[in-house]
Structure 1
Amino acid sequence: MGHDGLSRRTMLMLTVSAVLPVDGFALLASESATTTARDLELITVSDRSVAVTWTTAALDRIGRKRPVAVDTELALGPADSRKPLPIVHSDPTPTAFHYVEVTGLEPGRRYRLEARSRGVRAASGAATRWWNDEHTVEFRTLTPPPGRLVRTVALANDLHFGEEVSGEIVTVLPTGVRQEPGMAPYPAVMLEALLSDVRAPDRDVDHLVLAGDLTNRGTPAESRDLRRRLDKWGELGRDVLVCRGNHDRPRVGAVWQSGLRLAGTGHHDCWGPQFLPRQRLFSYDLDGLRVIALDTTDLDGSGGRIDAEQMARLRNLLRDEPEQPTLVFGHHPVTRESGMTNLGGPGFVLNRHDAATVHQLYGRSPGVFLHHSGHTHRNRRTRPDTPVPVEFLEVSSIKEYPAGYSLLRLYEGGYMVTFHTTRTAAARRWSARTRTQLFGLQSRYSLGSLADRNHVVHRDLSGIEAIPRPRAAVVTAPRHHELHSAAQR
């Protein structure tokens, strides 16, 4: 989450966690050749699919856990069946970072599964999961909202392009993870994994929304290189929609001298000329879907704010078309609950005055249905401060574990949110390495609950025009041996 605005609350939590064993590391352990299958997680549950990940490892001569490449096997069947679970995926190709996605499931049905490698059943990586519930191997597929699928939007954030050490809070705490020698910089690996994933036919993404912290320090080189890579995926302002994060803000120093100078300050903005001006709201009409991008960054610091001119623009837009289906995104979370539950503390989110104004505007704008934020590097839905029918959704970082994005599938009668990890081999390897961040607590903080990551909301979104799609063939409910899977090693 960066070094900015490290609170005493965060330091206390990290000091307490420092006495805990680091995930994946053992002291004075005896030599063992026994392979363990661990860190089993249900990542995605949609209406017709489930995605599962786990890792395999063994202790080396000095007791350190090392990845071990072995086979991948998944058994899955209806939870109410007394028959042995049929094997729906089996791959002898060795890998230590296992990912299996099974499709062809029935909406609204309970299933159970077992993941195995070398005959060993995969288990959760921790006995205590806090708010996570991945210790269970049962799940129910979602039931999509009624009506046609009209649009699919990918929600992602916190790439930190140009970063060299992931998870480093302050330099005196040894929590950072570096890329392995000889491999490409991890932000580039994760960006390419994201862009290739959301272009895949099974994701069928129409628009990519990136909610800030796209660069590490907003330097000229980081900003230019990132823009060049995004331009290859799609057109900025139509296919790709962005907002600024605190890591993208203007800076003081020789590195940024070539950027646009902000009047009355010593700050230069190198990110803005490549993307969007500072503290400027941008609104996009995507065939009836209004998407509003907010710049919630402060000039110095990690907290969030919205200046008067930008807030007035938001007020006018929502007043003029209060019923239009509207998705809003900005880097900083908005709710009081988010401020009280993230590692950075209350000062890490949008300030209380601006958050209260946003809630008031949403209360008078029934078309606003979802507010997407990044910044906290976790998957979480938080309660609004006032009773407004808006979902406040935080999506975890793309640059580190769990290294994914949320798909927002819009139907005429509502929407479905599903979280997906990137699927390239290099991305899976890096995600597993960064799972050990925060003294081994990264997974418990960042992954979030299954319900936070995957859920359905009923709303009237019939005002959004459907993008023409190939007519799907009529398919009857599959028998269980007809389930099929796609694995990425």
Structure 2
Amino acid sequence: MPGCDVTRREILRWSAVAAAAPAATGFVFDGTAAAASRKDDVSPANLELVTLTEDRAIITWYTGYTGTDDGLGRMVPAPADGEVRWGTHPGRLNRVATGLSDHTPYHYVELTGLEPGRTYYYQARSQGKPVPPTPFTLISGNAVGTSSYGLDGPGPYSFTTPQPPPGRHLFTVVLCNDLHMGETQAGLVGGQPQYIGIEQEPGLPPYPEVMLESLVADATSLGADFLLAAGDISAEAVPVDLSTAHRMLGAFGSYREDYFVTRGNHDRAHLGDPYAACRAGQWQGNDCFQDQFFPSAHEPTYFTRTLQGLRIIGIDTYDKPGNGGDAGGLSPEQLSWFRGQLHRDQDQPTIVFGHHPLIVQDSAFPITAGKSLDASQAATILDDYSRMPGLFLHHAGHTHRNKRTVSPSAPRVLHQEIAAGKEYPGGFSLLRLHSEGYALNFYKSRSELARRWSERSRMEIQGAWPQFALGAAVSDRNTMAERDLSGLRPVPHHGHHPRSPQHA
């Protein structure tokens, strides 16, 4: 959910927003094609351009039995064929791509061999029918392209590939967050009956485990060298859930060498019997998160590391007392430490990652204090950022959405919110670092079970969830920037990282 924890006032405001959403002309709210007369007919829906790099594009959609309802407000899943016809002219779509699965409701098609800086046109089809985009009625946005071409009809739609990051590829970092290990219902909003919690289908593994297993496998296959998980590793910091997350992340590599984590508000110290065996928390209850990931005596839950010349600073944005639903905050000791780190080696290439964003803008839902870090602390940190030429990225989670923001007070720093790993759109971002720039691209987790859960969980908040979580524009989940990163060193892939970068 937006911000993970909500107040009653927020619930009422969300209810008003959702109720005011206009009906989409020609399509129902979740992007389903207009109902046909035959109940066994299949309709495609929910077309999305998810990933766009200089040489590839990833397109996803869903097929269901027309006129049916699975109880969540979407069509019952229907296996169907799927293809994307594409080319460099809208009247000549002379290339064809098919998906990961031959016959599935959960279509995932990758276009490869694209040229940088070129405009392409595409039409996705299942059962011979063009696939309609995920519609945006609460926000101004575009789920399927980098231009409005084709949006006034059934397509084809259009995108223009970016230029690659200049210079030599050095290494790749996975950015992810909001794994919520142990969660059993997604989309709960304070018990409001109109916002039902969505559970995993009977007989299938718990969805946080499905999504994390796919995330790690996909990131590895894409050539990632390091992984940063920015908080809400667990649903409620239960020891077994933290241990499961630790074990599953361990499939990527070694903790504090290959992957790193920070605390989110759900990982805070808790009261109660499930937590009694954990150390006493600094602010309240028992701190099982610290026991699992920062177990040494007096070890802080924030840190800095240098990876191939890249400085990463991991901050604990819930280093404070509270129930998790309020604004994030750093303790006075951590804030002093953090500012000291920022003022040291200011030219060194640096990224910061932590759970709560410093800035939250342009939301389909009300923006309240609980969505970000404490406002006064955020202002202080942004002022420090303005004097740090080496800092180029602040990665945050918590909002469960893809959103790219640049603050006028520190314009050299990209603030990137990344959608939750555990639910729709369900994935991670790859940060590809080159000697003269970087690219940041979002990927949906792509195992069959991950795609199945992602499509099921898109029905949160009565189907309005994609308008918040996917990102209003392709650029909210895919970006390239030029930057002098020549001081970084490449990862030697003949060593303990056998992965080969996909876009080297």
- Same fold judged by TM-score > 0.5? yes
Counterpart Cα distance in 1 of 2:102 and 2:214: 21
Greater strand fraction, Structure 1 or Structure 2: 1
Is the CA contact (8 Å cut-off) linking 1:215 and 1:222 kept in structure 2?
yes
Alpha carbons of structure 1 residues 141 and 176: separation in structure 2 relative to 1, 3 Å: same
Matches within 5 A, 1:333-348: 333-335=357-359, 337=361, 343=366, 345-348=368-371
Counterpart Cα distance in 2 of 1:360 and 1:60: 54
Matches within 5 A, 1:22-41: 23=30, 32-41=39-48
- Structure 1 stretches lacking a partner, 5+ long: 471-489
Matched, 1:444 2:467: yes
Counterpart Cα distance in 1 of 2:420 and 2:381: 24
Matched, 1:327 2:346: no
Is the CA contact (8 Å cut-off) linking 1:279 and 1:296 kept in structure 2?
no
Is the CA contact (8 Å cut-off) linking 1:3 and 1:169 kept in structure 2?
no
Taking only aligned residues, the RMSD between alpha carbons, in angstroms, comes to 2.6
Is the CA contact (8 Å cut-off) linking 1:359 and 1:385 kept in structure 2?
no
Counterpart Cα distance in 2 of 1:394 and 1:112: 28
Counterpart Cα distance in 2 of 1:456 and 1:428: 26
Partner residue, 2:302: 281
Matched, 1:76 2:97: no
Q: Which amino acid aligns with 1:282?
A: F
Q: Which amino acid aligns with 2:444?
A: T
Partner residue, 2:76: 66
Matched, 1:423 2:446: yes
Post-superposition offset of 1:82: 4.6
Alignment match of 2:321 (pick from 296, 299, 323):
299
Alignment match of 1:42 (pick from 38, 43, 49):
49
Single out whichever of 415-424 and 131-140 deviates more from structure 2.
131-140
Alpha carbons of structure 1 residues 30 and 341: separation in structure 2 relative to 1, 3 Å: closer
Matched, 1:357 2:380: yes
Q: Which amino acid aligns with 1:122?
A: V
Post-superposition offset of 1:364: 1.8
Q: Which amino acid aligns with 1:405?
A: F
Partner residue, 2:190: 170
Partner residue, 1:244: 263
Partner residue, 1:482: none
Counterpart Cα distance in 2 of 1:337 and 1:72: 36
Secondary structure of the structure 2 residue equivalent to 1:107? coil
Is the CA contact (8 Å cut-off) linking 2:99 and 2:109 kept in structure 1?
no
Alignment match of 1:101 (pick from 97, 101, 110):
110
Cα deviation code 1:212-267 (max 9, x no counterpart): 0010000111112221222232111121111000000001112211111135x651
Partner residue, 2:333: 309
Counterpart Cα distance in 2 of 1:61 and 1:205: 41
Secondary structure of the structure 2 residue equivalent to 1:150? strand
Counterpart Cα distance in 2 of 1:62 and 1:348: 33
Is the CA contact (8 Å cut-off) linking 1:30 and 1:62 kept in structure 2?
no
Matched, 1:12 2:13: yes
Post-superposition offset of 1:129: 6.8
Q: Which amino acid aligns with 1:253?
A: G
Single out whichever of 284-293 and 306-315 deviates more from structure 2.
306-315
Secondary structure of the structure 2 residue equivalent to 1:260? coil
Counterpart Cα distance in 1 of 2:408 and 2:68: 53
Runs of 4+ in 1 over 4 A off after TM superposition: 18-22, 28-31, 60-64, 340-344
Counterpart Cα distance in 2 of 1:292 and 1:78: 43
- Structure 2 stretches lacking a partner, 5+ long: 22-27, 146-156, 495-504
Secondary structure of the structure 1 residue equivalent to 2:343? helix
Q: Which amino acid aligns with 2:111?
A: V
Alpha carbons of structure 1 residues 465 and 127: separation in structure 2 relative to 1, 3 Å: closer
Post-superposition offset of 1:33: 2.7
Partner residue, 2:212: 191
Matched, 1:130 2:144: no
Counterpart Cα distance in 1 of 2:31 and 2:137: 16
Counterpart Cα distance in 2 of 1:341 and 1:283: 34
Secondary structure of the structure 2 residue equivalent to 1:93? coil
Counterpart Cα distance in 2 of 1:330 and 1:91: 33
Post-superposition offset of 1:279: 6.2
Single out whichever of 58-67 and 395-404 deviates more from structure 2.
58-67
Counterpart Cα distance in 2 of 1:83 and 1:165: 45
Q: Which amino acid aligns with 1:169?
A: V
Single out whichever of 58-67 and 308-317 deviates more from structure 2.
58-67
Is the CA contact (8 Å cut-off) linking 1:85 and 1:113 kept in structure 2?
no
Single out whichever of 295-304 and 416-425 deviates more from structure 2.
295-304
Is the CA contact (8 Å cut-off) linking 1:35 and 1:58 kept in structure 2?
yes
Post-superposition offset of 1:320: 2.1
Counterpart Cα distance in 2 of 1:25 and 1:104: 31
Secondary structure of the structure 2 residue equivalent to 1:406? strand
Q: Which amino acid aligns with 1:270?
A: C
Post-superposition offset of 1:130: 2.2
Is the CA contact (8 Å cut-off) linking 1:243 and 1:276 kept in structure 2?
no
Post-superposition offset of 1:349: 0.7
Post-superposition offset of 1:94: 1.5
Is the CA contact (8 Å cut-off) linking 1:5 and 1:348 kept in structure 2?
no
Counterpart Cα distance in 1 of 2:32 and 2:47: 18
Q: Which amino acid aligns with 1:422?
A: S
Is the CA contact (8 Å cut-off) linking 1:52 and 1:100 kept in structure 2?
yes
Alignment match of 1:271 (pick from 282, 289, 295):
289
Q: Which amino acid aligns with 1:267?
A: G
Post-superposition offset of 1:9: 3.8
Is the CA contact (8 Å cut-off) linking 2:231 and 2:263 kept in structure 1?
yes
Counterpart Cα distance in 2 of 1:378 and 1:99: 20
Counterpart Cα distance in 2 of 1:25 and 1:114: 16
Alpha carbons of structure 1 residues 145 and 218: separation in structure 2 relative to 1, 3 Å: same
Counterpart Cα distance in 2 of 1:320 and 1:292: 12
Partner residue, 1:474: none
